[in-house]
Structures are given as C-alpha cells and as structure tokens.
Structure 1
Amino acid sequence: MTAGRRIVIVEDDVLIAMDLADLLIAMGHDVCRIATTEAEAVEAAMALEPDLMIVDGNLAEGSGVSAMRQILARGFVTHFYITGDPVQLLKIAPNAVVVAKPFNMRALVTGMAKAGRVKASVTGGVES
C-alpha cells in the first residue's frame, strides 16, 4: 500500500463518511474533501485533482456512478465505489472496482489496491 494519497470521499451518510475519513487518516492519507452530492463530487475532482476518489454508488442528490462518468470524461482519476448494493452497481458499471458496505480496513485496502491496478492498466504506468 502506498501511503500519503490525497483522497476525495463521495458519501452522503455523515457517519459513514466520518468513519471512512478516520480510517484513511489513520492509514496516513490526506482526506482533502468529503462531497455529499453528484455536483460536489465533480467540482471536488476538478478543483483538487485527487490521487484517489472513494465514491458511494447511491447518493441522495445524484449518482456516484454518474459523477464518475462526468469526471472520467475529462481524464482518468483512480477511484472505486463503496455501496450497500454491489450487484446493482455492477449492473450499471460492470468493470467497476466495488467494496460492499459495511466495509472494514482490509476491504478498504483491497479496494485501493485494485483501483491502483486499474490506473496502471489504463495509463500504462505503475500503481501510484
């Protein structure tokens, strides 16, 4: 695992967002923003250019999948989804890296590693 990533969390449940941020900070990462809507996620990605985005698939205002489609249309951003309904998310985004809620640190680390491998295969580089 590579420490010190700048991460944007896209999560509309405040308790889950805080728990996830605490885990990431304890792992040595910088949580540079918590976005709660599709529009905030797109804005955060453009403004902050994070190393990683962790995105809830279902948001109260918009969709995490839709947000990532808009973001990826402008350039690749390493990302993975966290969701309570991984089967439904994979129907919408079949090649997505998905971590099911509830998650633990091991699942989070695995999701980060898989997302990094996707970046390496898409960009022809190595995992960041």
Structure 2
Amino acid sequence: MAEDRLILLVEDDVLIGMMLVDMFDALGYPEPAQATTNEEALAAIASQPVAGALVDINLGDEKGWPVADALAERGIPFAFTSGGGDVIPAPHASRKLVTKPFRIAEIEAVLNGFFPE
C-alpha cells in the first residue's frame, strides 16, 4: 500500500482528527501528519514530503482555501472534508468532497485515489 507516502490531515476538531487517524490505521496507512490551522498546514506542506491531503473546508474562523491553493500549486492530490453546505471555489470545483460523518469506505476510496496503481 502507501507505507512511505505521507498524508496531511487538516482538521480543526481534535476528536474528528483522532477518528480519522484510527481509520488510516485500520486501512493500513501510516499515521498522517496533522494540522489544525492554515498556518500549520502550510508549514507542513513546505517542510515535509506530503503525498496527499484531506483538507477540512472550515478551520475555526478560517477556510482551508490557502491550503488547497498550496497543494494544487505543488501538484499534490487532495480532497476536501466538510460538515456540508460549503461552496467550493471554481479553481477547486473538481476536487472530491467527503462529508461528515465520515464512512471508512469513502476515506479508503479517496486515499487509494491519491495513489493509482
């Protein structure tokens, strides 16, 4: 699988982040790098070999668009996560959106889509 491929998980809710880490483990993926703000996520992208990302659209009082832009500029595959009701800007309209509550099969499909065989 993707043992050596670091996924960045951008999620501001600690409990949801923990649940996603458990899903990664259950699916055989290594523990993801984690960020709870745009600033943390952008620093992670700049300093680590990120191979893919799940980006929560709503990060507290901010939106995850700067992270999406940085990932897109680097050609790093990513998908958005959201509780729903968000409008994705046109430059990212083709990105996959996984809505909460997350189902492990959806997370698996997104992660596997980052690494087509």
Tell me the TM-score normalized by structure 2.
0.84
1:50/1:77 contact within 8 Å kept: yes
Which residue of 2 is the match for residue 95 of structure 1? 94
Q: How is 1:59-70 mapped onto 2 (pairs within 5 angstroms)? A: 59-70=59-70
Which runs of no fewer than 5 residues in structure 2 stay unpaired?
A: none
How many equivalent pairs are there? 115
1:42/1:68 contact within 8 Å kept: no
Q: How is 1:1-128 mapped onto 2 (pairs within 5 angstroms)? A: 2-4=1-3, 5-73=5-73, 75-85=74-84, 87-91=85-89, 93-116=92-115, 127=116
Structure with a larger share of its residues in helix: 1
Which runs of no fewer than 5 residues in structure 1 stay unpaired?
A: 117-126
Please give the secondary structure, in 1, of the residue aligned with 2:67: helix
**1:12–1:79 CA distance, 2 compared to 1 (3 A):** same
Distance 1:6 1:109 in 2: 15
Please give the secondary structure, in 1, of the residue aligned with 2:12: coil
The sequence identity of aligned pairs, in percent, is: 27
Q: Which gives a bigger RCO, structure 1 or 2 (Cα 8 Å, sep 6+)?
A: 2
Task: Report Cα offsets for 1:42-96 as digits up to 9, x if no partner.
Answer: 11112112221111011015322221103322x11111111111x5243553111
RMSD: 2.0
Q: Which deviates more from structure 2 when the two are superposed, residues 87-96 or residues 40-49?
A: 87-96
